[in-house]
Amino acid sequence: MKKKKFHIKYADYGLANYFPEDNHIEINKKLKYNKPLRDYIIKHELGHKKEFDLSHEFKIDWKVIPSLLLFFFKTPSTWRDFLPIQIRKKQVVYDLNMIILWTFSIILIYILIRILLRIF
């Protein structure tokens, strides 16, 4: 079986996604103009070839956080990556990592509110 050549596609939305079945990465087209951040994100997405789980998402170089946050705030189309369920090309797509993250966050917020209500 012939292996597909790796390539990068630019998208209008999201930050970046790795698609192992097609052997390509989609990254936001506005990253073309931010080479250091683009290179870091491509390196991160290629890491999904080795490990495709939630723990990989937390392996981040803290030096890149400020430029990443700035990019998020300047580019609202990147926020779509944080939705646990999306509709793409008339098909419902879910991201299990985001479902876990959202569930954990909602439970944590609920617990914190309950604690704060008891204190005050």
- Residue 1: inside a domain: no
CA distance 2 to 118: 62
CA distance 71 to 74: 5
CA distance 57 to 22: 21
- Which residue stretches of the chain have pLDDT < 50? none
| pLDDT for residue 28 | 94
CB 28 within 8 A of CB 78: yes
| pLDDT for residue 54 | 64
| pLDDT for residue 19 | 81
Q: What is the pTM of this model?
A: 0.69
- Residue 2: inside a domain: no
- Residue 21: inside a domain: yes
* Structural domain boundaries enclosing 64: 7-119
| pLDDT for residue 52 | 61
Q: How many domains does the chain have?
A: 1
Q: What is the CATH number of the domain that holds 110?
A: 3.30.2010
